[in-house]
Structure 1
């Protein structure tokens, strides 16, 4: 049975909105640099940021610099590289430890021979993390997994995370859920009810964190999830964000209660 985010006639609480980027605000592309950003996306986000009294943040596997480039001229609160780097709402930065940066560089060098042998693979180094994309060569998924598992045996401070057509080496203790919790302890997020919208396995930590803090996770598309609500696709996300100023009347048509947990 479809269930609205808020019952008609209830008071809308002060909300804090968090979203993923790829697969949420924009469609997933063949390569990280080929993503298409709609011309009006930055304007729409700027508008909802004002409506939420600046309590809007992006939680992404990308670097902060990538999001700044795609959403220019906005300078949002962002947790990048799955939370291993974070820019607070006041603009101050929480940077990853230098040791973890060095570890990620070692991991990237160790898996480079695989990418050289298979140019369709893409290694994406980030501050403290490494992503190995196989979207253009799905038949190499097992080879990518084995290569990272072998390398990470010598890097116990890292964990292996699976995403959509990508494997990532991520420092243990850093994830989108931890990033969301950190934001919720700071202005302008503190005291608000968090909503997190995402599409991937790496978003599950943030779904759980938002719901444990009294808010809601919204999963895009099919698949098992901890999120309480589900939304169809990126187009529906844009419609939902566009209607959050009038949540009762605009959110209900595109949200359904999840049945798979």
Structure 2
């Protein structure tokens, strides 16, 4: 089972393990870490609507300092412009739309930057447009439902929906999205008061992490992936055996550590001090 990561004693234990243990049969190159961070529910507390989510006070400066020591990537289901605006930093890498759109921090030279746009195919884009129309119709029938169209992915949020209406919404979505599921061009997944529609492609947050780890300055680092939702489990699997997975939530058998959301920024502050030792 996962170990807790919520206070300075836990953080120091993490440091001892990362420096001392062997991963994939090799000793880590010193303390050379890289950070892969989810946004909603990890860097920022879950909000009633995506627009209301904000970094806690002081977090932006912590991320800025952190990225001067370690390579840092924010891997989010949000669109690229949205996640860039929410984080508000240019010196980190962004993996938007569950990693289907990747942009590195601005390079010092042209040879050091990288970017990637996963080609999901015209047929799946058309399917997403059709699904967006259906979701908008559902949205209009339920006060408290919010649909986000991010181009390459769709999200239906129902955090503000009255509890007594959730069962009816789920039944309606199951009916309305049945045809899309049968055609197999889209993948429908659940999360924390959200339904996600993504292209049925061999790409996710985990594949994005693997791809980024092939680029400088992430190559040859020990990746630390921190996330809180179902889509982050692909990221946890990607770093298994070569890095460290941290679940923001309760104890979990599939990750290295677990922590409370309120402990995330404290851990990142500790990593800054750890990197300066």
Q: Do they superpose with TM above 0.5?
A: yes
TM-score (norm 1): 0.84
How much is the aligned-residue C-alpha RMSD, in angstroms?
2.5
> Following the alignment from structure 1 to structure 2, what is the Cα–Cα distance between the partners of residues 65 and 148?
30
Inter-CA distance 154–190: structure 2 relative to 1 (3 Å threshold): same
Unaligned 5+ runs, structure 1: 251-261
Aligned residues: 246
Which stretch of structure 1 is more off in the superposition, 118-127 or 137-146? Answer: 137-146
Map of 1:51 onto structure 2 = 69
Moved over 4 A (4+): 8-12
TM-score (norm 2): 0.80
Map of 2:16 onto structure 1 = 7
Among 181, 199, 204, the residue aligned to 2:233: 204
CA shift for structure 1 position 102: 3.0
CA shift for structure 1 position 151: 4.1
> Following the alignment from structure 1 to structure 2, what is the Cα–Cα distance between the partners of residues 148 and 57?
36
> Following the alignment from structure 1 to structure 2, what is the Cα–Cα distance between the partners of residues 147 and 64?
31
Instruction: Name the structure, 1 or 2, with higher relative contact order (CA <8 Å, separation 6+).
Output: 2
- Deviations along 1:5-54, one digit per CA (max 9) or x if unpaired, are 232784843111000000000101000001133342222111000011xx
Map of 1:168 onto structure 2 = 196
Return the index of the structure with the highest Cα Rg. 2
Superposition map of 1:182-193 within 5 A: 182-193=211-222
Which stretch of structure 1 is more off in the superposition, 110-119 or 220-229? Answer: 220-229
Map of 1:158 onto structure 2 = 186
Contact 2:33–2:221, Cα closer than 8 Å, also in 1: yes
CA shift for structure 1 position 85: 1.6
Inter-CA distance 144–245: structure 2 relative to 1 (3 Å threshold): farther
Map of 1:101 onto structure 2 = 125
Which stretch of structure 1 is more off in the superposition, 71-80 or 5-14? Answer: 5-14
Contact 1:160–1:168, Cα closer than 8 Å, also in 2: yes
Inter-CA distance 104–166: structure 2 relative to 1 (3 Å threshold): same
Contact 1:51–1:245, Cα closer than 8 Å, also in 2: yes
Among 199, 210, 224, the residue aligned to 1:181: 210
